[in-house]
A and B are shown apart, each in its own frame.
Chain A
Amino acid sequence: MRTFAPLIHGYWYLLRGAGMTLLMAGASVVPATLLGMLFALGQIFGGRISRAAIVTYIFVVRGIPLLVLLTFVYYLLPLTGIDLPPFWGVVLVMACYYAAFMAEVFRAGILSLPQAQWDAARGLGMNRRQMLWIVIFPQAFRLAAPPFVNLCANLIKATSLVSVVGLWELTMASREIVERTLAPFQIFIGAAFLYFCMCFALSRYGKYLEGRVLAGH
């Protein structure tokens, strides 16, 4: 029991850190999703130029570590003189980064619908807008839901990186306690447990959705 005393003393601080992690992930996931959808649609229906721009964007973002981009913005913001609070700077980077992955998820969802769905919608005399909103999107989103949820779990894990550029969340909170108590094993295991609870719940939910998608076919 004694060995875990630092963890017991610090658990409230860690929980608050976990709350901050969730807040950061939640604030990032919304713009990332919207931007990702926009990219997916632009890539499928857009003209040559917008398609090339989106493909290039996704290629670049997927090839560069998030940590590099976070650090870049961390050093860049003071130089540009933009008065953006660090929290929103981080949310901006996370949103732009994950938008590329979201785009792939949604694109795969839309493209994996059989051609017959498009033909049938056209056969019913729907225009493009009706076709998308009534026939394509509801099915595509259901297909994209499992990888989307997994990506969200991934995003929660990735928020731990912002501690490297000095923002306060679960990883930063655990490092602070470790510096005070010199009990790295106990504290980091506590932090890992909290991350596990958040991500495991999400990935279970993703599995459940996957089962439902498979059952539907």
Chain B
Amino acid sequence: MPFDPNFIRRLLPALLEGAEITIELSVLTIAICLVWGLLVALANATRGPLAWLAAAYIQIVRNTPLLIQMYLVYFGLGFAGLPLSGFMCGLLALCLQNGGYVAEIYRGGLQSVSARQYESGRALGMRRWTLYRVVVLPQVIARVIPPLANQGISIIKDTSQVAAIAVMDIMKVAQIWVESSANTYDVFLTVGLIYLSLTTIVSFGARFAERRLAFVA
């Protein structure tokens, strides 16, 4: 029977437990990628072998599927004698892939500030740090927040793939419940709503951050 409130009442606690894993993975991935992506973008902006390495990293992680990266980390590390938990493997793969995307977002943000902005700041006698704080960063932040929010949404959705390496996130819990109850509609309706509310929170948060952070020195 689809849309059975009693069934959903029993299902919800299990799904919310899965949602906890999903949220943990998402928050950790987003937090790590914000920093890791910046490091990669900065490395990419230097001249020399470091930049080459960063560029290669970005291209490789962006052009291969997350699922393959997860398998590579999960099964590969296990065979190499470094077995990590499914959660850690999933987190590692998520950060590897999304770090590449975030680095590209930062690069685009930095490049979008024209050279004239730097020149005018210097002409006004600003020191390097003041120049960045007052002129460059506010513009970069304003341009970087919308694509970062999209990436955050994409990260939340990507976390569902850890179900493939046996992590008990919402997706995996849903699969188990569907197989044991055959109540496909209810399970997937609830799962869809949970994901939708998580991604909506991120996009509202981003809109709030945009209003607060952009153009504030």
Contact = CB atoms under 8 A, between A and B. Distances in A.
Interface of A: 60, 62-68, 71-72, 75-76, 79, 153, 157-158, 160-161, 163-164, 171, 174-175, 178, 182-185, 188-189, 191-192, 195-196, 199-200, 203
Interface string B23-43: 000000000000000000000
Contacts of B174: 68, 71
B196 A188 contact: no
Interface string B159-200: 011011000000100110010001011001001100110011
B157 to A, nearest CB: 4
Interface of B is mostly: helix
A62 B199 contact: yes
A192 B69 CA distance: 8
B175 A71 contact: yes
B158 interface: yes
B64 interface: yes
B75 A178 contact: yes
A199 B63 contact: yes
B67 A161 contact: yes
A79 B184 contact: yes
Nearest to A160: B65
A64 B67 contact: no
B68 interface: yes
Contacts of A65: 156-158, 160-161, 171, 195
A63 B153 contact: yes
B196 A157 contact: no
Contacts of B178: 71, 75
B76 interface: yes
B196 to A, nearest CB: 4
